[in-house]
């Protein structure tokens, strides 16, 4: 119970709303499901928050998409070979 209280206290408003809706809509089979989800949301926020502290300004979308395209092309060649398709 103490862990649950801690998780709830430290979740942001948006994540709390996700959990509330999960309970309302019956998308979870038990209280422990809700607790696990709360922990996952908290851990996700923690990781994103740490990265933003290191780099406060998000990278421009165009830059991200261009880099992802490059990674996609490289991976495709590595896994499927250049001649496929």
Partner 1 sequence: MLKVFLDTNVFIVSLEDLQSNSNLVVRAAISNRFLPVVSQQVLEEIKGYVARNYSSDVANKYLYQVKNIPLLNTVPTEKIVPAMDSFAGLVTDKDDLPHVTACILEDCNVFVTIDRKLTQMKAKQKIRFASPKQFVELLGMRSINTSQDE
Closest CA to 7 of 52, 53, 43, 48: 43
User: Which of 3, 31, 32, 51 contacts partner 1 by CB under 8 A?
Assistant: 51
State how far the Cα of 7 lies from the Cα of 4, in Å rounded to an integer: 5
* Site for partner 1 contains 58 (CB under 8 A): yes
* Site for partner 1 contains 66 (CB under 8 A): no
For partner 1, the closer CB: 3 or 74? 74
In the complex, which residues of this chain contact partner 1 (CB under 8 A)?
A: 14-15, 18-19, 21-22, 27-28, 36-37, 40-41, 43-45, 47-49, 51-52, 54, 58-59, 61, 64-65, 67-69, 71-76, 79-80, 84-85
């Amino acid at each position: 119970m103490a862990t649950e209280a801690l998780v709830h206290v430290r979740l942001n408003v948006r994540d709390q709303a996700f959990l509330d809706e999960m309970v309302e809509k019956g998308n979870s089979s038990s209280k422990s499901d809700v607790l696990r989800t709360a922990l996952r949301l908290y851990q996700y926020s923690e990781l994103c928050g740490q990265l933003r502290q290191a780099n406060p300004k998000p990278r421009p979308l165009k830059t991200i998409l261009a880099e992802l395209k490059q990674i996609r092309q490289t991976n495709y060649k590595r896994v499927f070979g250049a001649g496929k398709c």
